[in-house]
Amino acid sequence: MSKVKKTPLTGDQAVAYAMKQIDPDVVAAYPITPQTEIVMSFSNYVANGQVSTEIIPVESEHSAMSACVGSAAAGARTMTATSANGLALMWEIVYIAASTRLPIVMPVVNRALSGPINIHCDHSDTMGARDSGWIQIYCENAQEVYENTILAVRIAEHKKILLPVMVCQDGFITSHGVEGVELFDDKKVKDFVGEYKIDDPLLDVDHPVTYGPLDLQDYYFEHKRQQSEAMKNALSVIPEVSEEFAKVFGTKYDFIEEYKLADAEIAIIAMSSAAGTVKFVVDELRKKGVKAGLLRPRIFRPFPKEKIAAALKNVKAVAVLDRSESFSAEGGPLYTDVKAGLYDSGVKPLAMNYIFGLGGRDLFPADINKVYTDLRDVLKTGKVKTALNYLGSRE
């Protein structure tokens, strides 16, 4: 067997390398920790003449997304990147990008939102934007970050979707951790993403169009419904694009990952880098005869409720781990979406929620063991004592 060559890269560098291979027409961005290394690394490729991208240094993230909207509407393949407060500053234009159906790809390095000021990882930034109309992909490691950045271009630009995509990774945990990444051939990547051709470019003077007009009672409702239908279309289109990706590059992606779930009685649902810690604990528990498993949603928007229900059909008790707090007093966003998705599915495991890792607080195997111990207690008693829990927090 031939050995797979891997290159040591941080998650941020993996994104930048994928962007180099994609060679987008325009990148408009503003630096913010822990995203800065993405655009900094990519700007080196620009300076060295390795890409033909027009890079636009702007005065704020609001300006960055505004420039991306103009660029994408003009017919240019467009990318940016951000984190936390930068995403918050983009807020107005984030909605405009999705509503205008512009296939912008934006790697987001997940970081806690102020205040208090914190530069470390949680998912409060992208979870706050979960209803903005962007497709959201969450990555466990640098390899997934690299591959999903490439995959996101085809997803965003598909004619049945035409929605922007966030490719999310955990700040500092993934973004600054060095891992071995298998890099694909430049030509294969370029051939896979193909050439971007917009149907109605803003700069086609022979066929004038209007972008971002005033849209009052007469048509706003219908345009929002079209946007919603595009997100529904993504549920069927993403598997098609993923299948093509698998044929070219060998990696098959699905909306979720199931880890030792087939015969699991108890399971944790967790996203991004936390899943790696959960897998380690699952392996240790399996050695002791405990039927534990993991379900990892890779895509949070559109929400794959059918996939999740099917994966949990044999699970008796489940704990959902949220790296953000929705302040609803009902639990985190992943937990509430999972419960809502299971409501009419016939799948009704006993469910608990654990908020964890806010502001970058570490998640240890001991924390995960505690969750599985709680789940085993739920199995014995048939009751959930406390649905909303805080994992690793001082009392």
Distances (CA, A) of 334 to 218, 265, 270, 324, 350: 35, 20, 9, 9, 16
Where does a domain end: 249, 265, 284? 249
Which residue, of 197, 215, 249, is where some domain finishes? Answer: 249
Query: So what's the pLDDT on residue 1?
Result: 53
Q: How many residues does the chain have?
A: 395
Instruction: Give the pLDDT score at 24.
Output: 98
String of DSSP letters for 69-101: HHHHHHT--EE--B-HHHHHHTHHHHHHHHHTT
User: Does 367 map to a domain?
Assistant: yes
Angstrom distance (rounded) from CA 106 to CA 96: 14
**Strand extents, DSSP E, 205-316:** 256-259, 266-269, 292-297, 299-301
> Tokens 């031939």, residue?
2
Whether residue 36 lies inside any domain: the answer is yes
- Alpha-carbon distance 96 to 79, whole Å? 15
Bridge partners, 294 (sequence order): 259, 268
What's the number of domains the chain is made of?
2
If asked whether residues 172 and 29 sit together in one domain, one would say yes
Question: Which has the closest alpha carbon to 108: 28, 184, 192, 170?
Answer: 170
> Per the confidence metrics, is the pTM higher than 0.75?
yes
Same domain, residue pair 40 and 144: yes
Contact 25, 54 (CB under 8 A): yes
From first to last of the 395 residues of the chain, give the pLDDT tens digit. Answer: 567 899 999 999 999 999 999 999 999 999 999 999 999 999 999 999 999 999 999 999 999 999 999 999 999 999 999 999 999 999 999 999 999 999 999 999 999 999 999 999 999 999 999 999 999 999 999 999 999 999 999 999 999 999 999 999 999 999 999 999 999 999 999 999 999 999 999 999 999 999 988 999 999 999 999 999 999 999 999 999 999 999 999 999 999 999 999 999 999 999 999 999 999 999 999 999 999 999 999 999 999 999 999 999 999 999 999 999 999 999 999 999 999 999 999 999 999 999 999 999 999 999 999 999 999 999 999 999 999 999 999 98
Last residue of a domain, one of 249, 284, 304: 249
Sorted by sequence, the CB contacts under 8 Å of residue 167 that are 6+ apart come out as 15, 105, 106, 107, 108, 137, 139, 145, 148, 149, 152
Q: Is 165 in contact with 156 (CB distance < 8 Å)? A: yes
Verify that 214 and 294 share a domain, yes or no.
no
Note whether 234 and 306 are same-domain residues: no
- The CATH number assigned to the domain holding 321 equals 3.40.50.920
Q: Tell me, yes or no, whether 245 and 268 share the same domain.
A: no
In a domain, 83, yes or no: yes
Q: According to the model, what pLDDT value does residue 380 have? A: 97
| 212 and 340 in a common domain | no
**Same domain, residue pair 45 and 151:** yes
- Looking at the structure, do residues 245 and 263 belong to the same domain, yes or no? no
The answer to whether residues 286 and 239 belong to one domain is no
Whether 296 and 234 share a structural domain: no
104: CB partners within 8 A, 6+ apart: 65, 68, 69, 72, 78, 79, 80, 97, 156, 164, 165
The domain that holds 208 is classified in CATH as 3.40.50.970
**Alpha-carbon span 198 to 196, nearest angstrom:** 7
195 and 172 in a common domain: yes
Specify if 374 maps to a domain. Answer: yes
| Sign, Cα dihedral of 250, 255, 260, 263 | negative
Residue 380 in tokens:
């014995």
Does residue 226 sit in the same domain as residue 266? no
pLDDT of residue 49: 98
Asked whether residue 170 is assigned to any structural domain, the reply reads yes
Closest CA to 358 of 314, 333, 391: 391
- Domain holding 362, by residue range, is 256-391
Answer whether residue 264 is part of any domain.
yes
Question: Does residue 2 lie within any of the structural domains?
Answer: no
With respect to residue 1, please indicate whether it lies within any of the assigned structural domains. no
